[in-house]
Structures are given as C-alpha cells and as structure tokens.
Amino acid sequence: MATLAQSHSFSHNREAFYFGDRALIISVCLLLAFGVVMMTSASIEIASSENGDAFYYLKKQLIFMVMGFIAATAIYMLPLKLYQEWDIFLLFSAVSLLVLVLVPGIGKEVNGSTRWLNLGFMTLQASEPAKLFMVIFIAAYLSKYRTFVCSSWKGFAMPLMFVAVPIFLLLQEPDFGAVVVLLLSVFGMMFLAGVKLYQFVLLILAAGGAAAGLIFSSTYRIARVKSFLTALSDPFNEDVVFGSGYQLAQALIAFGRGEWFGVGLGNSIQKLYFLPEAHTDFVLAIIAEELGVISVLLLLALFLVFIWRAMMIARKNELKGDFFPAYLAYGIALIFLGQVIINVGVNTGLLPTKGLTLPFLSAGGSSLITCMVMVAILLRIDIENHAKANNLKRVING
C-alpha cells in the first residue's frame, strides 16, 4: 500500500511539473538557435561597415531574445481566463497601436512605410502585437457567439466588422503583408469554428477582389505584380533585375549559388550588399546560399513540426469543448503558417516581393519577442488542458 501511495505521489508530482508539449518546445529552441547563427552570418558584413562592430546585430538579437524570454515567462504564468476577460481591452490596444504609428512625430518611417513606434530602447513594429491582440479577441468572440456566427449572415459578418478597422489602418502604413497574415488567421479561425463552406468561399472571393482593387489602386504595387509576373517566366529579365524585382533576382542567385549543400557557413557573396535586407526579410536566401537547399528543406520541416504541434494543442481543446483556447491556438498557428508561407514564397519568387519577417530567424525585436510570447500562450494552453485532465486546479487558476 505504501509503495502504491508513493508511486501515486511521484506520478502526481511529475504531472505537476509538465511544462508543455515537448516537440513544440524542442522545435522552437532549435529554430531560435539556428536563427541566431544564420542571422549573425547574414548581418556580419553590414554590421561591420555601418556600425564598426561585426556582431552588432547579434548583440541586439540576444538582448531581444532575453526580453522575449522574460515576456514569455510572464505570459506563461497568466491563466487563460484573463485573456477572455481582457478581450475588449486587447481590441482597443490593437487599434490604438495602429493609430499611434500613423500620428506624425510618433510613428517612424522607414523605406516609405510608417510601421514603427520609437520606444527609445527599441523600435516596435505595431502590427506584430496588434495581430496577436486581434487573434485573441476573435478567439474570445467566436467562443462566446459560435452558434450565432455559424447560423446567420449577421453573425458571420460581425467578426469581419471588428477586423475591418485594423485592416484599414494597416493599409495606411502600408503593411500589406500583415493584412494578408491577419486575414488568413481570422478566416481560418472562422472556418474551423464551423462557418458554412459556401460562406467561406464567398469570403475568400470577396477578399481576393478587395486585394485586386488594392493592387490596382497603387502604382508601386502594380509595378511589383508586373515584375513578379515577368519574373515567373524570366527572373533575370532586364526590367526585373534593374527594376522592382532586384531583390528577387538577387535572392534567386543566392539559391542558385547554394545548390544542394551550400558554399559554406559565412561564405555568402549575396550578403555583401548585393541582396538588401539580407538579415531580415531575405535571411532564407542566405541560408540557401551558405547551407544549401537541403538545409532549407530541413528548416521548413522544423516549422511544420512546430505548426503541427500547435494545431494538435488546439485540436485537443476543441474535442473537449474548450473553444476559446482551441480557437486561440488555431489562430496563433495560422499566424506562423501565414508568415512562413509568405516569406518563403517571396524568397523563392513564388509570391510578389513583400517585406515580412521569417519567425525566429529574421533580425528584429518586435517579431522575435511577439513570436516568443505566442509560443508561451501555446504552452499555457497546453498545460491548462493537461491540468484539467489531471485535476490540477492550482495550475488552471494561476
């Protein structure tokens, strides 16, 4: 009897120290470690020439990583019920951030886009936390009014009305990439919540029509699309290489030089000012050049493992009828999926050139910290689900 009691006590203690999905944690740690190495390699030349310190961006990224870990730890400790209680506040915060960035003197303009807030110690890209706040709000709304959303056109339209204002503000920056990622996440969450297929198809068609309208309303977007269409058949056409497709051409050269196994870590030529934003939006091209297409495929497999585990965390909660954590996990997984698809598509010429970071790998504090916070939320969802299954009320209530 004593042995059984001790065994039960040990088992209970082991359950109490469950920190979240192991595959998810391992994949994130590998992505972070690989990201630090490759971002440093991609930035070392520009950091040396512009800042007199070859490891300038490495030091910044490590500081951001520490900040992200602190923020993620704090978020990890918060019970999920708080997010449902704060849903309106988070909606207001998302809109406020996107409004502030457009206020002259507050928002910071870089390369013709006003997307950043100068916080002194770092610049915050407002769209990064805003996307997360909107996903939390939509998850809370769908969990409360799922039947209403799925059973009537009015209910179907309500989540779209809430998203319309942030979308409009993002287009003013402009940040078309963030718009696509946010819409993909919201549409996906609504579909997974049970929106009828024909409504979903009409929604996609309407979004496609709106996207076409946006493209033809802007000369620089038209130029990018023309360059993209030309690049599909002839990526090294003179109009592409010396026009708006310059970055794409240089990225494709990087992929071509790397072949299957790469030219060796640190031996990239494209990062020597041939490929702009090599350490941010186009870090994948440098990975392909230095480590080869095989490494790119392994990296994508790592992302797929991470997104798959996030989806499984969502599915577990959905099957138990815990809809808020389920939709929230789905939304976060779709944010990552959207960003990876767009970044890879841009780097390989399958999508028009658009500035969007590769999660965990691109240089930049806003993206890295927000990604780490989203991982913390996924782990919190998983441990609360685990705690409910094992009746660990202390974990659930925080």
Round to whole Å and give the CA distance between 256 and 250. Answer: 10
Would the pLDDT of 18 be above 60?
Answer: yes
Of residues 114 and 143, which shows the higher confidence score? 143
* Range picked from 104-108, 135-139, 211-215 for highest mean pLDDT: 135-139
- Whether the CA torsion 195, 199, 203, 204 is positive or negative: it is positive
Name the band, by pLDDT with cuts 50, 70 and 90, for residue 113.
confident
pLDDT (mean) for 272-297: 88
More confident residue, 8 or 67: 67
Check residue 217 and give its pLDDT.
72
Residue for token digits 């996107």? 98
What is the pLDDT averaged over residues 154-175?
A: 88
pLDDT band at 48 (very low <50, low <70, confident <90, very high): confident
- Residue 9 predicted with pLDDT over 60: no
At 277, is the pLDDT very low, low, confident or very high (cuts 50, 70, 90)? confident
Q: How many CB atoms lie within 10 A of CB 154?
A: 9
Copy the structure tokens of residue 111. Answer: 């390369």
Query: What average pLDDT does the segment 334-359 reach?
Result: 87
Window from 127-141, 190-204, 208-222 with minimum mean pLDDT = 208-222
What CA–CA distance (Å, rounded) separates 76 from 269?
A: 41
Give the residue extent of every domain in the chain. Answer: 21-397
> What distance in Å separates the CA atoms of residue 157 and residue 206, rounded to the nearest whole number?
12
Tokens coding 144? 């409360």
| pLDDT computed for residue 6 by the predictor | 46
| pLDDT band at residue 5 under the 50/70/90 scheme | very low
Least confident of 73-87, 98-112, 182-196: 98-112
Range in 167-171, 221-225, 292-296 the model is least confident about: 221-225
pLDDT in tens, 232-270: 666 666 666 666 667 777 888 888 888 898 898 888 888
Mean of per-residue pLDDT scores for the chain: 84
Strands (E), the chain: 107-110, 113-118, 123-125
* Band of residue 397 on the pLDDT scale cut at 50, 70, 90: low
Q: What's the pTM value of the predicted model, to 2 decimals?
A: 0.89
